[in-house]
Structure 1
Amino acid sequence: MILITGGLGMIGAHTARALADLGHRVVVTTHRRAEVPSFLAGRVAVESLDVTDRDAFLALAVRHDIGDIVHLAGSVPGEDPAGFFRTDLTGLLNALDAARAWGVRRFAVASSLGVYAGRSEIPWREELELPTARLPHPIVAFKKAAEPLTTHGLEGSGVRPIVLRIGSTWGPLMDPESPFNPIPPYISAVLRGEQPQPWYADDGGDFCYAPDAGRAIALLMTAPALRHDTYNVSSGRPFTNRELATALRAVAPGPRLDLLPGRQAGPGDNPYLDITRLIEDAGFAPTFDVATAVADYVAWRAGNPR
């Protein structure tokens, strides 16, 4: 059985779905979210768990035969960044304790494309050294720190660490007004009949639709062999706002979607993640491009609030 902490969040739920589609038994944990997405109903075991409670975490093994862990649970910083770091660090250490105590095969942890901040090379590849640079958000700072904590924390245990440098992911189950990805709020405005603020046509960047991200993680957890500890998880290509607007006009005609010419910062390339490792080791190929992702998301939102 594969355990996914934070398994009712956007990426966790789509990972659980992909694993179930592959025929694996899955248990997901949730702390505050109680609603199980329709595509997971009756397909996974659900455990209410505060991952900062070590005893409760370890007790999961009494009820489930867990052989792999995908640790995606995390919190959102408030006015106390130290409290945020303490909470998420405690959850990570408890997950690592569980991995070692249970002798699981693989332990995957969520990192972020934000760890590449300060690298000018495009696309971003896993072998790039991560520079000392000011990071854009406390969540990125924690995820960058979580990488060596995980790999060192599992040394000598026989557990294979998998660091997931997850790209700019969006899709079903994301907060429609999320401050972490501009695409859902933009689409939400259009669905309300509002004219969104004009974007620069050639701006854009990394793009990963949540069902693809979940399937990529599922393939990494189930691949017969892995040659690396760190994998970029995304679509492997950048998108532009022009593509997004074109796709949205095709499925949600309504307000005029004005675009400003060029890029806000002038000529240049938009950064994105290289996924060669993911393709070669896990056999991943994205199912969704910008047009099919937008169409799928608009159809999903027709019957779901987020």
Structure 2
Amino acid sequence: MVDAAGKVMVTGGAGYIGSHAVLALLDAGHEVVVVDNLVTGFDWAVDPRAVLVVANVADDAAVRGAIRDHRVHAIMHFAGSVVVPESVADPLKYYRNNTAATRSLIESAVAGGVPHFIFSSTAATYGTPARVPVQEGDPTIPINPYGMSKLMSEAMLRDVAAAHPINYAALRYFNVAGADPVGRSGQSTVGATHLIKIAVEAATGRRDAVSVFGTDFDTVDGTGVRDYIHVSDLAAAHVAALELLVANPADSHILNAGYGRGFSVNQVLDAVDRVTNRTIERRYEGRRAGDPAELIADNRAILAALVWQPRRDDLDTIVTDALAWERTLAERGR
């Protein structure tokens, strides 16, 4: 279903996940306008079929102008800060970039009459879950400012949707990894903290080793366990969520975005060793602040709600795509 009335606005569309959502939307026939301040994103990561507006999402005049000029009928919001340890050290940055900026964006959406809003949320809203896999209705008790900044944004969306003609989907991501299978985009941030990104950097000689933070968790091998989802599958879920919101304008949704199974840090690094046919040096260090032992999605709700099925839900496939993108970056001198 493609709404011909206007464009989909993608904030943070020059970043990692946002650029993949732009590709998925364009491939599905939607028109797209990207709003990104290019602080952590890259203009070259924006597909040329999309319109790029260089602005901060908290710049009300720029955002409202783009909504008006491009007749925006839906917003996908990816812009924000995402590093858990940094959020512990600098919480005000996260409440500014994530919560306060999202409030401004939501207000701009309401002012511009945008009826649909898709929010990039996180499994960090659960904190340390009482059970694994975690379900959407389980308690949300974040243990770091990153998770709290996202949970506060979810609350704003809930309240605004009750007061205004707008519906929303908040997708709670688990660990996003991989790259576009045909090499159009991938994780390109210098100094990224994603495990698989770090590991493929080490595999291609861009890092000396991979640090493993914590070996005493109550997990299969003492290292943290996470549910890894391929970024292209996640992008496809956003397109499916948009179609659901358009078809059912009275309903909003909070959905886990994951595969429903977890891998430890050591198991992920074993997969990188296997795919690359080399052994990456592992440096074992203490736990990081704000890291739970295990986060795995119960993904039955998203599978039931959306016309969506994961296509690349295999750890070696995720690693292979991430590695291919890392080699592409090296060839481009980036």
TM-score (structure 1 length as normaliser): 0.84
The residue type equivalent to 2:121 in the other structure is: S
For residue 200 of structure 2, what is the aligned residue in structure 1?
A: 187
* Matching residue of 1:220: 241
Relative to 1, partners in 2 of residues 1:188 and 1:228: Cα closer, same or farther, differing over 3 Å?
A: same
Q: For residue 102 of structure 1, report the CA deviation from its aligned partner.
A: 2.4
Q: Mapping of 1:265-280 within 5 angstroms?
A: 270-280=294-304
Single out whichever of 152-161 and 20-29 deviates more from structure 2: 152-161
Measured at CA, do residues 165 and 148 of structure 1 come closer, stay the same or move farther in structure 2, by a change above 3 Å?
same
Contact 1:4/1:27, CA 8 A, preserved across alignment: yes
Deviations 1:131-178 (A, max 9, x none): 4x5x13x22221111111111123231210211211111232253642
Q: Distance in 1 between matches of 2:159 and 2:90?
A: 27
- Residue 219 of structure 1 and its aligned partner are, at CA, apart by 1.2
**Structure 2 matches for 1:1-306, cutoff 5 A?**
1-32=7-38, 33-37=41-45, 40-75=46-81, 81-131=91-141, 135-136=143-144, 138-171=145-178, 172-175=186-189, 177-179=191-193, 181-192=194-205, 194=208, 196=210, 202=221, 203=223, 204-223=225-244, 224-225=247-248, 228-241=252-265, 243-255=267-279, 270-288=294-312, 289-304=314-329
Gaps of 5+ in 2: 1-6, 179-185, 285-292
Q: Where does the alignment leave 5 or more consecutive residues of structure 1 unmatched? A: 261-268
**Deviations 1:34-93 (Å, cap 9, x if unpaired)?**
4222xx432211111112211221111232010001111114668653354234333212
Alpha-carbon distance between aligned partners in 1 of 2:262 and 2:93, rounded to the nearest angstrom: 35
> Do 1:177 and 1:184's aligned partners in 2 also have CA atoms closer than 8 Å?
no
Whether the aligned pair in 1 keeps the contact of 2:124 and 2:146 (CA below 8 Å) is no
TM-score if structure 2 supplies the norm length? Answer: 0.78
Instruction: Report how far residue 257 of structure 1 moved.
Output: 6.3
In the alignment, the residues of structure 1 paired with residue 210 and residue 266 of structure 2 have an alpha-carbon distance, to the nearest angstrom, of 14
What amino acid is aligned across from residue 222 of structure 1 in structure 2? E
Q: Is the 8 A contact 1:243 1:291 kept in 2?
A: no
Q: Using the alignment, how far apart are the partners of 1:219 and 1:20 within structure 2? A: 13
* 2:183 corresponds to: none
RMSD, aligned α-carbons: 2.8
**Does the Cα contact within 8 Å between 2:208 and 2:281 map onto a contact in 1?**
no
Maintained 8 Å contact 2:36/2:53: yes
Change beyond 3 A, Cα 1:191–1:176: farther
Instruction: Give distance in 1, aligned partners of 2:212 and 2:108.
Output: 48
Range moving further from structure 2, 101-110 or 120-129: 101-110
Tell me how far apart the structure 2 counterparts of residues 256 and 22 of structure 1 sit (CA, whole Å).
39
Give, in angstroms, the shift of residue 241 of structure 1.
Answer: 4.1
Q: Distance in 2 between matches of 1:243 and 1:80?
A: 31
Q: Which amino acid aligns with 2:148?
A: A
Partner of 1:266: none
Tell me, in whole angstroms, the C-alpha distance in 2 between the residues paired with 1:123 and 1:59. Answer: 42
Deviation at 1:17, TM superposition (A): 0.9
Do the aligned partners of 1:170 and 1:210 also contact (CA within 8 Å) in 2?
A: yes
Relative distance call for 1:174 and 1:115 in structure 2 (3 A) is farther
Partner of 1:222, secondary structure, is helix
Q: Tell me how far apart the structure 2 counterparts of residues 296 and 176 of structure 1 sit (CA, whole Å).
A: 18
- State the 1:12 CA deviation: 0.8
Q: Distance in 2 between matches of 1:159 and 1:124?
A: 28
Residue deviations 1:233-292 (CA, integer Å, cap 9, x gap):
1223212445434432343123366799xxxxxxxx943011112111112222221011
